């Protein structure tokens, strides 16, 4: 296919913003970035006119409802944005011959494993947020079998709200912090995820057959406590960190104990080497300082 125009939703989010920082290296493509005022995912009945007016060759949907705990009390909103909206964009993109890329999460799995989750591991979400994202995946593929779904985990960036920025702020404010040490995963630098998304677009433009579900996260497995320790070291902070269990830090939404994603499929198909999370964290913190 010949790709010229690319529509990106969620322009103000971590991933949408990181994409906007990289597009100058891709001058052959025209990117249109829309924030919530330009395309509100809580209003799927407005999508067709917006997409018709822009007439893109690809839609990259980086917008999502990501407030994991709030999703327990705002189930309907999470379901509309993460499931119904994704299905609607997939349906319109299929009708108009537009390629569709959207993102999902490690939270679609049950968190009970000792080996990394594969793209075809059966879904078993343990909270409302995970359920909404799992349904979004299913609707995307039902409505447009050529959809590309990229599952990711523990996303951080120098932009927006995320664990890295929260930890730096709290470590500056407090002498002591308690951090959960029995949940394991793979952190993901949104800039790296944005970069691999652009590689996918180049691949599609070159006639590569890319569709279905992929996993992308930075290499290296860690816990939230170990992640925080590394943030502390790289940011040169002196806050005392105390490792605690999930049971000691109850939250409205259940959290998976193990949500490590296996990324071999995307590495092999795109012939890419994924950076280690510590390397990417260092780059992110340099940008913040």
Does the predicted TM-score (pTM) go above 0.75? Answer: yes
- Which residues have a catalytic role annotated? 129
In this structure, is residue 73 part of a structural domain? Answer: yes
Tens digits of per-residue pLDDT, 244-288?
999 999 999 999 999 999 999 999 999 999 999 999 999 999 999
Q: Which strand ranges, in their side-by-side order, compose the sheet holding 58-61?
A: 30-34, 5-9, 58-61, 99-105, 148-152, 212-215
Domain range for 210: 5-161+187-219+261-275
In this structure, is residue 233 part of a structural domain? Answer: no
Q: Which two tokens stand for residue 197?
A: 């998304």
Q: Determine the straight-line distance between the first and last CA of the chain, rounded to whole angstroms.
A: 41
Tens digits of per-residue pLDDT, 121-178?
999 999 999 999 999 999 999 999 999 999 999 999 999 999 999 999 999 999 999 9
Q: Is the Cβ–Cβ distance between 123 and 83 less than 8 Å?
A: no
Average pLDDT over the chain, rounded to whole?
Answer: 97
**The Cα angle at residue 169 between residues 243 and 152, in degrees rounded to 5:** 70
> What is the rounded CA–CA span in Å between residue 185 and residue 255?
11
Alpha helices in the chain (DSSP H): 14-22, 47-54, 75-79, 85-96, 128-143, 163-173, 190-205, 224-235, 264-270, 277-288
Q: Is the Cβ–Cβ distance between 218 and 227 less than 8 Å?
A: no
Q: What is the C-alpha radius of gyration for the chain, rounded to an integer number of angstroms?
A: 19
Q: How many separate domains does the chain show?
A: 1
**The Cα angle at residue 259 between residues 102 and 89, in degrees rounded to 5:** 15
Q: Give the residue among 32, 33, 57, 21 at the shortest CA–CA distance from 195.
A: 21
In this structure, is residue 288 part of a structural domain? Answer: no
CA distances from 158 to 9, 153, 186, 214, 280 (A): 19, 16, 18, 24, 11
Torsion from C-alpha of 267, 268, 271, 273, nearest 10 degrees: 30
Model confidence at 60: pLDDT above 80? yes
In this structure, is residue 151 part of a structural domain? Answer: yes
- Give pLDDT, residue 102: 98
Model confidence at 1: pLDDT above 90? no
The residue count of the chain comes to 289
In this structure, is residue 176 part of a structural domain? Answer: no
Tens digits of per-residue pLDDT, 216-238?
999 999 999 999 999 999 999 99
Q: Is the Cβ–Cβ distance between 218 and 276 less than 8 Å?
A: yes
Q: How are beta strands 184-185 and 222-223 bridged, if at all?
A: antiparallel
Mean pLDDT, residues 103-131 taken together: 97
In this structure, is residue 82 part of a structural domain? Answer: yes
In this structure, is residue 250 part of a structural domain? Answer: no
* CATH (domain of 147): 3.40.50.720
> What is the rounded CA–CA span in Å between residue 56 and residue 59?
7
- Give pLDDT, residue 2: 83
In this structure, is residue 228 part of a structural domain? Answer: no
> What is the rounded CA–CA span in Å between residue 2 and residue 99?
11
């Amino acid at each position: 296919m010949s790709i010229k125009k690319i529509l990106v939703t969620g322009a103000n989010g971590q991933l949408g913003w990181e994409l906007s920082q990289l597009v100058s290296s891709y001058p052959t493509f025209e990117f249109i970035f829309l924030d919530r005022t330009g395309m509100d995912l809580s209003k799927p009945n407005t999508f067709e006119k917006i997409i018709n007016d822009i007439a893109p060759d690809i839609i990259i949907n980086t917008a999502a409802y990501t407030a994991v705990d709030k999703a327990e009390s705002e189930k309907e909103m999470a379901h509309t944005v993460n499931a119904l909206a994704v299905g609607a964009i997939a349906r319109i993109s299929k009708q108009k011959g537009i390629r569709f890329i959207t993102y999902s999460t490690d939270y679609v799995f049950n968190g009970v494993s000792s080996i990394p989750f594969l793209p075809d591991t059966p879904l078993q979400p343990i909270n409302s947020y995970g359920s909404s994202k799992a349904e979004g995946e299913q609707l995307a593929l039902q409505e447009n079998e050529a959809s590309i779904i990229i599952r990711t985990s523990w996303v951080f960036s120098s932009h927006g709200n995320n664990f890295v920025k929260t930890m730096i702020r709290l470590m500056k404010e407090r002498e002591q912090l308690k951090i959960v040490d029995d949940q394991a995963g793979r952190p993901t630098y949104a800039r790296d995820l944005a970069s691999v998304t652009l590689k996918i677009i180049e691949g599609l433009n070159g006639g590569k057959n890319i569709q279905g579900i992929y996993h992308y996260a930075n290499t290296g497995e860690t816990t939230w406590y170990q992640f925080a320790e590394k943030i502390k070291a790289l940011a040169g902070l002196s806050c005392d960190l105390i490792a605690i269990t999930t049971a000691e830090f109850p939250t409205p939404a259940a959290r998976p104990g193990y949500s490590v994603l296996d990324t071999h499929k995307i590495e092999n198909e795109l012939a890419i080497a994924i950076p280690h999370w510590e390397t990417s964290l260092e780059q992110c913190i340099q940008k913040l300082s």
